[in-house]
Amino acid sequence: MALPPLHSFKVFESVARLGSLAGAAVELHVTTGAVSQQLKALQSSLGVELFSKRGRQLVLTPSGRQLHARVAAAMREISDAVDELLMGNEQKQDLIEITLSTPPAEGTEWLVSPLLRFMSESQSVKVAVLTAPNMTQVDWRRADVAVVYGTPPWPGYWWRLLHGIRMVPVCSPQYLRGPMAIHNVGDLLKHRLLHEDDGSQWQRWLAEAGCLRGGFENVHFEDFGMVLQAAREGFGVALSDEIVSARDLDEGRLVCPLLISAPALHNYYVVCSESARESPAVRAFIDWLLGTVGLPDQ
């Protein structure tokens, strides 16, 4: 049989290494749709499935793993040969540099792991990371793209919802047992309600839960990280999101005593300037960001 085009193997190798169409699109400087079409054409030509879906990630099938081992070795050989040929004569392929601004790490763990994986495995994209707690503090002189916790509109900027938050109570596991156990909304009267805002989020949650009475003790912290640490230490009950606090919940440092949820007052958005949006590299990186939470770009 005739071999498929060499470029389709390059696309396959990039997707296999990075684990996503969007990540490969950033590295190859093309759209996610173009990567998807190349993969479909390759699989159709070979007559085998090379990937399967596992959550938000693409994972290699046994046939895909077999092919990737050989293709990756071949691509390294080609790359080494080209490097030797160009050494001392021409510059290697330009490295794309993207500067991303994010909120402080506490609350964005759901983004950190895929971001670190991308930074580690991408061969032609270098990502620098800044931090800014809100939109007004993003340094747009340096940042190409920002993940912002807030509420649009932001005139002069393009934005897209990255992670819509639904708040649930979280607390130390000690509040699941004994005289201080939380079994219903009324039991929250026994505990401090922890928050980093003016208390509006707790008011919304209590209204959603059908609790109209007052008398709750509120404790304010300036930083959301302090709110969650206080909850872990058993100082009170906080509101968080099951994705934002996924690691604490998985590892048992926090639990959800009540499964009632309420929409957050603010959400996470991916934002860039209208001018930066014209850059193919920025568009591809945004597409990858949206892909980390399963949202297509529009």
d(CA 118, CA 189): 45
CA 261 – CA 258 distance, rounded (Å): 8
Domain residue ranges of the chain, discontinuous segments joined by + = 6-86, 96-163+270-292, 166-263
- The tokens describing 188, both together, are 């929250």
Cβ neighbours of 198 (radius 10 Å): 10
What is the CATH code of the structural domain delimited by 166-263? 3.40.190.10
Cα–Cα distance between 93 and 292 in angstroms, integer?
27
| β-sheet bridge partners, residue 237 | 193
**What are the φ and ψ backbone dihedral angles of 141, each rounded to 5 degrees?**
-70, -25
104-158 residue pLDDT tens: 866 677 788 788 888 887 777 889 999 998 899 999 999 999 999 899 999 999 9
User: What integer is the mean pLDDT of 200-224?
Assistant: 85
- Report the CATH fold assignment for 6-86: Arc Repressor Mutant, subunit A (1.10.10)
Q: Do domains 6-86 and 166-263 have the same CATH topology?
A: no
Give Cα 145 to chain centroid, integer Å: 13
Say how many C-beta atoms besides its own lie within 10 A of residue 278's C-beta: 11
Question: CB under 8 Å to 3, separation ≥6 — which residues?
Answer: none
- CA quadruple 162, 163, 164, 165: dihedral, nearest 10: -150
Q: How many CA atoms lie within 13 A of 118 on its CB side?
A: 26
pLDDT average, residue stretch 69-75: 85
C-alpha span between 101 and 144 (Å, rounded): 8
- Please tell us whether the domain made up of 96-163+270-292 is placed in CATH 3.40.190.10: yes
pLDDT score at 94: 65
Identify which has the larger pLDDT, 65 or 92.
Answer: 65
Distances (CA, A) of 265 to 95, 184, 197, 248: 39, 23, 10, 22
Q: In which residue are the tokens 């897209």 written?
A: 160
pLDDT-derived band of residue 225, with 50, 70 and 90 as boundaries? confident
What is the gyration radius of the CA atoms in the chain, in angstroms? 23
State both tokens at 42: 């390759």
Closest CA to 169 of 240, 110, 223: 240
- Residue 5 pLDDT level (bands cut at 50, 70, 90): confident
pLDDT, one tens digit per residue, over 227-285 is 999 999 999 999 998 878 888 888 999 999 998 999 998 889 999 999 998 888 888 88
What 3 state SS string does 208-233 have?
HCCCCCCCCEEEECCCHHHHHHHHHC
CB 287 within 8 A of CB 31: yes
Mean pLDDT score of the chain? 85
Q: Which of 135, 139, 133, 116 has its CA nearest to residue 18?
A: 116
